[in-house]
């Protein structure tokens, strides 16, 4: 049975796209980011394709012009995001789905990213990072997933490791650590391949 997995982050710029590229390589999966806000000349889909040239990319449903919360970017583009349009692409391959921002990011003022995740019924991999406040953001994200009955496959940690942060997150959550991505100077095919080989497959 093919796996369809959602990649969520604890905040913006946690490394979801890098983690997604690694997962596409490790699982030989397609990639899909339903909502892209800003950077339309160098989208996350472009980056994943650059880092894993073999990957199949599925077209975004919404391509918004401004790098901000999807509901605000859509407002500036004079459109409203309709969640009924965000339908899983048809594929016989595994599929990695990268969210735009964190779980509580609004697609509309009355509809959050986590609402779509819960409706999809798909499991989540949470990408965490090491910064002041990341323990709170990680545990709150995990709590939200549990409260909404969304299955968690595990956590990918990104950045220079802080043992005290890692220890308390793992102790408090009981979650599985799928991968630790170090602070890399740059991301390229070789880096993605290296971590794909280390990936604890789900």
By the 8 A CB rule, do 2 and 95 touch? yes
Measured N-to-C along each axis, helices 44-51 and 189-198 cross at an angle, to the nearest 10 degrees, of 80
**pLDDT above 90: percentage of residues in the chain:** 95
Mean pLDDT of 117-134: 97
Hey, how many other C-beta atoms are within 10 angstroms of the C-beta on 110?
Answer: 8
How much is the mean pLDDT over the chain? 96
Prediction pTM value:
0.95
> pLDDT tens across 15-65, in order?
999 999 999 999 999 999 999 999 999 999 999 999 999 999 999 999 999
Pairing of strands 94-102, 29-32: parallel
What confidence score (pLDDT) does residue 1 get? 66
What domain range includes position 24? 4-198
3-state secondary structure of 83: helix
Task: Say how many domains are in the chain.
Answer: 1
Q: Which positions ≥6 away from 93 have C-beta within 8 Å? A: 2, 28, 29, 30, 56
3-state secondary structure of 187: coil
Hey, how many other C-beta atoms are within 10 angstroms of the C-beta on 25?
Answer: 23
> pLDDT tens across 145-177, in order?
999 999 999 999 999 999 999 999 999 999 999
* Residue 25 appears among annotated catalytic residues: no
What confidence score (pLDDT) does residue 182 get? 96
Q: Which of 33, 146, 161, 194 is catalytic?
A: 33
- The CATH number of residue 124's host domain is 3.40.50.300
């Amino acid at each position: 049975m093919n796996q369809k997995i959602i990649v969520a982050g604890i905040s913006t710029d946690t490394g979801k796209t890098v983690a997604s590229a690694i997962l596409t390589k490790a699982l030989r999966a397609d990639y899909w980011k339903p909502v892209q806000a800003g950077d339309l000349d160098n989208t996350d889909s472009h980056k994943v394709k650059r880092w894993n040239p073999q990957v199949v990319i599925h077209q975004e449903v919404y391509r918004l012009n401004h790098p901000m919360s999807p509901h605000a970017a859509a407002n500036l583009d004079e459109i409203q995001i309709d969640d009924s349009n965000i339908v899983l692409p048809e594929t016989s391959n595994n599929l990695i789905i990268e969210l735009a921002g964190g779980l509580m990011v609004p697609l509309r003022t009355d509809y959050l990213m986590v609402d779509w995740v819960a409706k999809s019924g798909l499991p989540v991999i949470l990408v965490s990072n090491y910064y002041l406040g990341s323990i709170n953001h990680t545990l709150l994200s995990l709590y939200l997933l549990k409260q909404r009955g969304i299955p968690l496959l595990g956590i990918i940690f990104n950045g220079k490791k802080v043992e005290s942060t890692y220890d308390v997150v793992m102790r408090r959550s009981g979650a599985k650590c799928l991968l630790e991505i170090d602070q890399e100077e740059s991301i390229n095919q070789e880096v993605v391949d290296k971590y794909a080989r280390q990936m604890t497959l789900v």
